[in-house]
Structure 1
Amino acid sequence: MYVKNIRLINFRNYYSLNIKLNEKTNVFIGKNAQGKTNLLEAIYICGTGKSFRTSRDKEIINFDKNEAYVGSEINIGKYEKFIEIKLERDKAKRIRVNKTELKSHKELYSGLNVVVFSPEDLKLVKGGPSERRNFLDTEISQIKPVYNFNINRYNKVLFQRNNLLRSGKFQENISNLLEIFDLQMANIGTEIILERYRYIKELSSILEITHNNITSSKEKLELHYISNIEILDNKIEMEKRYLDKLRNNVKSDIESSFTQLGPHRDDIFININNKELKTYGSQGQQRTAVLSIKLSEVELIKKQKGVYPVLLLDDVFSELDEERRRYLIHSFKNMQTLITVTDAVDLKEMDNIEKSIYYIDNGQLS
């Protein structure tokens, strides 16, 4: 799996760019704020339909323009796809796959799997539960598109239920009205929780090996999925207990005007040597943990899909010591990788790998 080329028009600081990419390693060198990360963002959007930097599409459009375009040809084993995304300031983004326009960006399944690793990913450890839930939702959706469909359905039902709760103090028959939503929430929510639980379990089995290799078995890194709904092997029984909890919590939900139970409240506990990494881990331990998680994601996608994803490394080499840089370089030899660095000195460990090097200055490549 690899991206053959990328074309940008009015995308952030790129007025016009058309670049053919190396199937292996692509290195982009430039000072800060020159447009290196923008290239990675464009490829990520082609894979997932959204940015890893912002939830507001209009921020991606060049300041001087009202619309932007991203186009990319991707090779996925025996077939190819052409992904096009048009962004407009006052309209929803439009996506075409092989010249056929999708009804909604939520329908996008490009087949392009991407894993991004940047200094911002420390939010996975340092941030709140929503950061970790977003991580789960994004990564699982790449492997199983039906999961993204379930997330969208769940969020719609949750929104409707919360609206009803806010007006519930004035409705005598609110319990009967809530029952309609509770049945749907228990059904879809059970699917989501079980899928997340399975993902964390599979990721953890790979993570144990990855982190042991990176730290020479000096640290034990563990992920635990935490839900306020009891996780059972019997899906039917789990859904039944979930529904009972929703019914029994109605009074509390009405008082808070919010649905307090369900996957929208879940979290991942990340522990290092049996202690919470967020509280007790050093900056170096937190950074190494995120690196381990990202590389384990890569291997899990390979296991599930049969091919490696495209790996996007945004200014991470300067954040890692020499030993971890060497390990990272060894890890991406078998896949297409796009790397941003601020100084060519960071390339010294890459002398023996196939690569193309680009220099970026204010949105201009050479």
Structure 2
Amino acid sequence: MARPPFIKSLRLIDFRSYAKLDVLFDGRPVVLYGKNGAGKTNLLEAISLLSPGRGMRRAKLIDLSRKITQPNDPTSPLKHWGITARLGTDNLEDDDIKLSTGQSPEAPTRRKLRIDGTPANSRDMAELLTINWLSPAQDKLFTGPASDRRKFLDRLCLAHFADHGRISLAYERARMERGRLLNDGPQDRVWYEALEKDLANHGAHIARARVNTVNALEHELADSLSPAFPTSSLTL
């Protein structure tokens, strides 16, 4: 079985508290430690932005930029931030992939993505690297509303189905459009039936991806059972 890609190097430019940071990795587990405010969470947030979405903090793009002077000074000018990672599966550099994201002076309100220097989209990014996280801010994941758990499961689905994010967005767009038609009165029956068909097709794909992901997790749990720990079971 081929080894999954891992981040071999990471560079941050004007991101949060970092003016510039270069880090090397070798594929082994990493533990970050340091005093409060040292930048540990900022580094993890930067890595989370190498996946589709708004990252683990869901921050606005402007909030990710490093201020030139004091962070509490609202008049301080902002830098345009950038994140670059080199992905690979071994020590050879021939097959490494360069993944980058960040702001640009031309469009500071939009996040730009590039793969090996070529403009890319979120789907391209999801096919290269899947990133999941469970942070203290998610402590209420299993006691809060079911929608939070569905969002978390959908992110896990991206590890197995690169199209899951695109299909989920298409489902939400069709659902909102159907709601608008119902409020206004479904005068265009053909359009209404087309939306119903899209909802059924997208919904079936989403349900199948969720079931398959939960089954895969259940199999992993079964294969790693230890008499020292209680058994667990996942259902959907």
TM-score > 0.5, shorter chain as reference: yes
- Rounded to whole Å, the distance in 2 between the matches of 1:176 and 1:110 is 35
RCO (CA 8 Å, sep 6+): is it higher in 1 or 2?
1
Gaps in structure 2 of 5+ consecutive residues = 68-76
Q: Match of 2:165?
A: 148
The equivalent of 2:73 in structure 1 is none
Displacement of 1:82 in angstroms is: 0.3
SS of the residue aligned with 1:29? coil
- The partner residue of 1:76 within 62, 86, 89 is 89
1:34 aligns to what SS in structure 2? coil
Separation (CA, whole Å) in 1 of partners of 2:229 and 2:196: 46
Residues 214-245 of structure 1: per-residue CA shift (max 9 Å, x gap) = x8344x433221xxxxxxxxxxxxxxxxxxxx
Q: Partners of 1:142 and 1:205 in 2: how far apart?
A: 15
Match of 2:17 in 1: 13
What displacement does 1:36 show?
Answer: 0.3
In structure 2, distance between residues paired with 1:107 and 1:2: 16
- Quote the Cα distance in structure 1 between the aligned partners of 2:132 and 2:190: 44
Contact 2:61 2:109 in 1 (8 A): no
Alignment-derived partner of residue 233 in structure 1:
none
- Does structure 1 residue 216 correspond to structure 2 residue 233? no
* Structure whose CA Rg is larger: 1
Partner of 1:95: 113
Give CA-to-partner distance per residue, 1:300-355, whole Å, 9 cap, x none. Answer: xxxxxxxxxxxxxxxxxxxxxxxxxxxxxxxxxxxxxxxxxxxxxxxxxxxxxxxx
Task: Report the 3-state secondary structure (helix = DSSP H, G, I; strand = E; otherwise coil) of the residue aligned with 1:114.
Answer: coil
Bigger helix share: 1
Say what the alpha-carbon RMSD is for the aligned residues.
2.6
Quote the residue 2:193 is aligned against. Answer: 179
Paired residues, number:
218
Distance 2:131 2:174 in 1: 29
State the SS of the aligned residue for 1:4: strand
User: Could you give the per-residue CA deviations for residues 22-69 of structure 1, whole angstroms, max 9, x where no partner exists?
Assistant: 432433321222210111221222244541221533332224415210
Alignment of 1:183-262 (within 5 A): 183-208=197-222, 210=224, 212-213=225-226, 216-218=228-230, 220-225=231-236
TM-score, length of structure 1 as denominator length = 0.53
Q: Which residue pairs with 2:139 in the alignment?
A: 122
Unaligned runs of 5+ in 1: 226-366
Pick aligned residue for 2:149 from 125, 132, 135: 132
TM-score (norm 2): 0.80
Percent of aligned pairs with the same residue? 23
